Structure 1
Amino acid sequence: MKTTKIAGLDHVVAWDDAEQRHVYLDSADLVFKGNEIVHVGPGYGGPVDTTIDGKGFMAIPGFVNVHSHPFSEPANKGLTEEYGSDKLGQSSLYEYLTVFGLAPEDAGPSTQVAMSELLKSGVTTITDLSMARDGWVDDLAKTGIRAVVCPMMRQGAWYTKNGYTVEYAWDEKAGEKAFEASMKTIDEAIRHPSGRIGAMAGPAQIDTCHEGFFRESLQEAKKRGIPMQTHACQAVVEFHEMMHRHGKTPIEWLGAIGVLGPDLIIGHGIFLNDHPQIHYPHGNDFERLRDSGASVAHCPTVFVRRAMVMNSLGRYMNAGITVGIGTDTFPHNMVDEIRLACYVARAFTGNYKMGTTRHAFEAATIGGAKMLRRPDLGRLAPGCKADFSLVDMNHPYMQPSHEPVRSLIYSASERAIRHVYVDGAQVVRDGKVLTIDVEAATAGLIEGQRRRLKTVSERDWACRDADALSPPVYLTKDRLPQSRPVT
């Protein structure tokens, strides 16, 4: 194994084990042997095989993304940024995602485009919530990223026949097949020779899986020593559906069936009983969540587009709830998500302390690593994996660099991330992804979206086409309504 020394970095966001927090180290070296960090600090004098000049750069730990849908979300670009269902809690889940979602054969190019965006924004570990498919694990491994596959499985599918009520089509046999396929994929991921692929169990949504399905999923997760993630508390409709079925809030129901605990990751954990858009004063969801040890995958962008916000990042983390950050939607830009997580928490609470940079940066690093049970990720310290990014301190948007992490998050964003390493191997050089043919993947994504949009009306309850469901910002001139002469 070769030893590489990145010498004389302007700054390293290093892990202080005694203080259990990130700290700045100035004029420091970052040294890794193979895929493991062996030294962080000034004056490394041991033998090395390769020395890289770190002057003008800051090393930051690789971001750990705990919730993403790279199979489908890139193709929603231009379609779902501004629209939701007015009569279904403003959500896009029930009318939009069901008609715009890509066909399975287009999963490859879509996933590659998402991975290229993630890598360029400093993500070194991705949790991929997709449907199990042949070749999925190998495709992820080829991108060079560290991946956790979460093959989603469910027994029912939601739909609407009128745009104001949600119904469920239940198919127990399909659920059994999905469960089988998911477990097969999970085992394939755990055994993958790259050593960079992990797994978690994924009963897809709290309202599309029955009690037994959740319990069996958790049992299989525990058997394999992996966590479980489900979508819960993500929509007003879902909250009231669970109350209608069980007389319990989603959090109460998860607790009642025995799955609300340290093994569970809740994506997205927004609509607790005390959320202003719910205002159900007859529960104590926040305290139940806090005491359970369950964690939350926070993905601000996809929700704030529809005027929904978790209440709030600071409140959850200050109470001891483990929170991670995810890129649930496009663009798959982790720095954007970190910045938005701070802004929306402050605006929603009217308190600038409820979404600090430290809250969000730690959620995107050590918080995510804890959720994935990987204390060797999300931090730069001896014994940790060599997953990190080098930020160009001379980038104009990083200047003046009085506080470098703030300059990155609030001004430079991914533009200043020049080099990215995963497992000791460089995957981004000078802002260019080395492991993906981005142009070819983008061409495939464009074609996949084009084919899918042609058949939107076949899946929509009102037989609307794409432009009717998601009207463009401006009409082309030949489609403008003809003006009538004044008489």
Structure 2
Amino acid sequence: MTIAMTTADWPALPLGKRPPGRWALAARFVIADFPEARRVITDGEVVIENDRIIWVGRRFEGKLAARYDMGEALIAPGFIDLDALSDLDTTVLAMDNQPGWKKGRVWPADYAAQAYEMYTPEELAFQKRYAFAQLLLNGITSALPIASLFYRAWGETVAEFEAAAAAAEDLGLRVWLGPAYRTGGVILDEAGAMQPVFDEARGLEELAEAAAFAKRIHGSANGLISGMFAPDRVETCTEALLRKTFAHADDMDMPVRLHMAQGEMELQTVRRLQGTTAPQWLDSLGVLSSRLIAPHATVATDDDLSRYAANGVTVAHCPLVSARHGSSLKSFSRLKAKGIRIGMGTDTAPPDMVLNMAVGLMANRIAEGRGDAGSSAEFYDAATLNGADALKRPDLGRIAPGAKADIAIFDMGDRMIAPRIDPIQTLVYGATGRVTRATFVDGRLSMRDGAVAGIDLIAARAQAQDQFDRLIERYPERTYGHPPVEEIFPPSYPSSQTEPSS
């Protein structure tokens, strides 16, 4: 006997649990991935059992334990974030405060000599848990976390990633985890000139620890957690570190994410050290491959892009953080025409993939100088299908029988996005991630109506602000010349201690 349930039963579904038996989600719109192409089904539904989608169509006539009718909503594959923020974002401090090297983003030599962890182990663990919750709030179901190393002693630690794995399992987020490591960095000498410095032994030791961690956690939490390799920005890597990284990744069949072709400092540093661009250097080492995910490609040359295309490299496109710093991919349409796979990332706060798609689409049309360059569907595919393909996971990023039940539900009746047109165009052109109503991962309800399983977001928000404020207080220690915080980050308008005159 079929039991038909409505949205009246929706609040009773336990957060953090899978509905028992075979059950269905119904809504006004459903994205469906058929063998021939992606389609939108009007008044459709998705049937789920355990962790898998078993059916998608108009109306399932078989037996169900429950049917949840989401009404004026879009049921869609959850987003795959190839460059997902996993700390309390410090890049937002630089949006109106430039240049970055004067704002604590390049260590002065006197601080580099005694750099230390500015967060406690407990604070590092908390910020990942808090950041993972933010991803779920925005319909992101799979994530490759990224964090800053500017406030770290050197690289990330295995201990904090053990905590990150526990947080991902508790909250219900699919993750690829690997602590960031490096063999070098750029510092400011006493005259304020940028100088590369290296400690290869330290970086290789961190790589060995990261490899052991990735092997140990891969496939844990019933497959929710996978391993990856995350060497820091390319200008912080030596040849030995890169060769050993890709050897480990090849042996364990895991992805490598490496930031490169992303900025002027990197471009000049790599040219100074290697006499070429980063993609050309990696190609000469024979390590460009389809397992490489490379954010952000905003300063990539034509030759760099041709090498990406020839070797199957995936570009992780993060348009919001790039635009905030005055750069953009040149362009999404151009890279796609070259045959380069483009996935999406957030890499900033808020980790809003819907906003990233909107900014990316607009930046693409400006770069191309025409209003028909790219489409909302192309960007949605990049944020779902392309990310899954980059991770070699054909069971992710799609709604189809046999796929994992990683689903985001978006409110298409939101009062701020009327009138509604095509659901994907409405989402990209007229909404933000704040219309995300629910997020399922592996068939489990991880987020509903702003509540995330495993975390008190009201208390966590206050804790995050307190932790962030205390970090800002330490910025003078790692800023060239050690100016006061008020000089590093002046307010938009001077503060007033008196009442305005009448």
TM-score (norm 2): 0.87
Q: Which residue of 2 aligns with 1:218?
A: 246
The separation in 1 between residues aligned to 2:116 and 2:375, in whole angstroms, is: 35
Relative to structure 1, the CA distance from residue 68 to residue 91 in structure 2 (aligned partners, 3 Å threshold; closer, same or farther) is farther
The separation in 2 between residues aligned to 1:80 and 1:140, in whole angstroms, is: 29
Deviations 1:358-405 (A, max 9, x none): 221111000111111111111100000001112222212332222111
Q: Which residue of 2 aligns with 1:207?
A: 235
Q: Cα distance, 1:100 vs. partner?
A: 13
Q: Which residue of 1 aligns with 2:153?
A: none
Relative to structure 1, the CA distance from residue 55 to residue 273 in structure 2 (aligned partners, 3 Å threshold; closer, same or farther) is closer
The letter of the residue matching 2:407 is F
The letter of the residue matching 2:377 is R
Q: Is 2:178 aligned against 1:150?
A: yes
User: Any gaps of 5 or more consecutive residues in structure 2?
Assistant: 1-19, 148-155
Q: Cα distance, 1:101 vs. partner?
A: 9.2
Q: Which residue of 2 aligns with 1:248?
A: 276
2:74 aligned counterpart, secondary structure = strand
RMSD of equivalent CA atoms = 2.4
The separation in 2 between residues aligned to 1:11 and 1:222, in whole angstroms, is: 41
Please say if residues 343 and 386 of structure 2, whose CA atoms lie closer than 8 Å, have aligned partners that are also in contact: yes
Q: Cα distance, 1:68 vs. partner?
A: 2.1
Deviations 1:314-362 (A, max 9, x none): 1112222111111111111111111111111112231233342122111
Deviations 1:175-227 (A, max 9, x none): 12211221122123204233211121122121111112111111111111111
The separation in 1 between residues aligned to 2:434 and 2:476, in whole angstroms, is: 39
- Choose from 204, 210, 226 the match for 1:182: 210
Please say if residues 102 and 449 of structure 1, whose CA atoms lie closer than 8 Å, have aligned partners that are also in contact: no
Relative to structure 1, the CA distance from residue 177 to residue 194 in structure 2 (aligned partners, 3 Å threshold; closer, same or farther) is same
1:124 aligned counterpart, secondary structure = strand
Relative to structure 1, the CA distance from residue 439 to residue 181 in structure 2 (aligned partners, 3 Å threshold; closer, same or farther) is farther
Q: Cα distance, 1:24 vs. partner?
A: 0.5
The letter of the residue matching 2:495 is T
Please say if residues 162 and 462 of structure 1, whose CA atoms lie closer than 8 Å, have aligned partners that are also in contact: no
The letter of the residue matching 2:31 is V
Q: Which residue of 2 aligns with 1:81?
A: 95
Relative to structure 1, the CA distance from residue 68 to residue 101 in structure 2 (aligned partners, 3 Å threshold; closer, same or farther) is farther
Please say if residues 76 and 100 of structure 1, whose CA atoms lie closer than 8 Å, have aligned partners that are also in contact: no
Relative to structure 1, the CA distance from residue 47 to residue 100 in structure 2 (aligned partners, 3 Å threshold; closer, same or farther) is farther
The separation in 2 between residues aligned to 1:374 and 1:92, in whole angstroms, is: 38
1:256 aligned counterpart, secondary structure = helix
Please say if residues 48 and 55 of structure 2, whose CA atoms lie closer than 8 Å, have aligned partners that are also in contact: yes
Q: Which residue of 2 aligns with 1:377?
A: 396
Please say if residues 236 and 271 of structure 1, whose CA atoms lie closer than 8 Å, have aligned partners that are also in contact: yes
* Correspondence 1:59-458 to 2 at 5 A: 59-73=75-89, 77=92, 79-85=93-99, 93-94=105-106, 103-105=119-121, 106-130=123-147, 131-134=156-159, 135-161=163-189, 165-274=193-302, 284-458=303-477
Q: Cα distance, 1:413 vs. partner?
A: 1.6
The separation in 1 between residues aligned to 2:41 and 2:142, in whole angstroms, is: 24
The separation in 2 between residues aligned to 1:312 and 1:151, in whole angstroms, is: 30
The letter of the residue matching 1:219 is A
Relative to structure 1, the CA distance from residue 415 to residue 208 in structure 2 (aligned partners, 3 Å threshold; closer, same or farther) is closer
The separation in 1 between residues aligned to 2:219 and 2:436, in whole angstroms, is: 32
The separation in 1 between residues aligned to 2:81 and 2:219, in whole angstroms, is: 22
The alignment covers a number of residue pairs equal to 463
- Report runs of 4+ in structure 1 exceeding 4 Å deviation: 90-93, 98-102
Please say if residues 32 and 398 of structure 2, whose CA atoms lie closer than 8 Å, have aligned partners that are also in contact: yes
Q: Which residue of 1 aligns with 2:480?
A: 461
Relative to structure 1, the CA distance from residue 71 to residue 415 in structure 2 (aligned partners, 3 Å threshold; closer, same or farther) is closer
2:420 aligned counterpart, secondary structure = coil
Q: Cα distance, 1:102 vs. partner?
A: 5.5
Q: Which residue of 2 aligns with 1:483?
A: none
Deviations 1:28-66 (A, max 9, x none): 121000010000001212222121123322201100000
Please say if residues 110 and 444 of structure 1, whose CA atoms lie closer than 8 Å, have aligned partners that are also in contact: no
The letter of the residue matching 1:289 is Y
Q: Which residue of 2 aligns with 1:278?
A: none
Q: Cα distance, 1:433 vs. partner?
A: 2.1
Task: Judge which range, 195-204 or 58-67, deviates more.
Answer: 195-204
Relative to structure 1, the CA distance from residue 76 to residue 2 in structure 2 (aligned partners, 3 Å threshold; closer, same or farther) is same
- Choose from 13, 34, 40 the match for 2:56: 40
The separation in 2 between residues aligned to 1:230 and 1:387, in whole angstroms, is: 26
Q: Cα distance, 1:431 vs. partner?
A: 3.1
Q: Cα distance, 1:305 vs. partner?
A: 1.4
Please say if residues 12 and 59 of structure 1, whose CA atoms lie closer than 8 Å, have aligned partners that are also in contact: yes
Please say if residues 65 and 327 of structure 1, whose CA atoms lie closer than 8 Å, have aligned partners that are also in contact: yes
2:439 aligned counterpart, secondary structure = strand
User: Any gaps of 5 or more consecutive residues in structure 1?
Assistant: 275-283, 481-487
The separation in 1 between residues aligned to 2:464 and 2:404, in whole angstroms, is: 32
1:23 aligned counterpart, secondary structure = strand
